[in-house]
Amino acid sequence: MHYTQKQQKKIIDNGIAETEYRREQERKFLSAQIAERKRGQYLGFTLALLIIICGSYMIFKREYSSGFSIVWYYSNRYHRLIYRKWEKNKK
């Protein structure tokens, strides 16, 4: 089957347009993924800071066991969560 010069040009132009569209969609997807991860990092940092402040306040008010256990428990859980994600991404 032979294509005319005009048909060949149209096929090539369609291929180029499709490639540009796919690249634009990939760029949008990656931007959304990056924004989502940043939001998660900010939320995690804020939560960790809040836990440390609450634990420090409890220690300051001489509730040593409560203050230390709050800080230890949540820092340990956060560490496990981060380590699990790191292990999964490592594979």
The pLDDT tens digits of the residues spanning 30-88 come to 999 888 888 888 887 888 888 888 888 888 888 777 777 877 777 777 767 666 776 77
Identify the band that residue 29 occupies on the pLDDT scale cut at 50, 70 and 90: very high
Quote the pTM value: 0.52
User: What is the predicted pLDDT for the residue at 91?
Assistant: 62
Residue type at 80 in one-letter notation: R
- Rounded to the nearest 10°, the torsion over CA 14, 19, 23, 26 is 90
Per the CB < 8 A criterion, the answer to whether 70 and 57 are in contact is no
Q: How far apart are CA 33 and CA 50, in angstroms?
A: 26
Taking every pair of Cα atoms in the chain, the longest distance, rounded to a whole number of angstroms, is 88
Residue 87 token pair: 């292990």
Residue 34 token pair: 């990056």
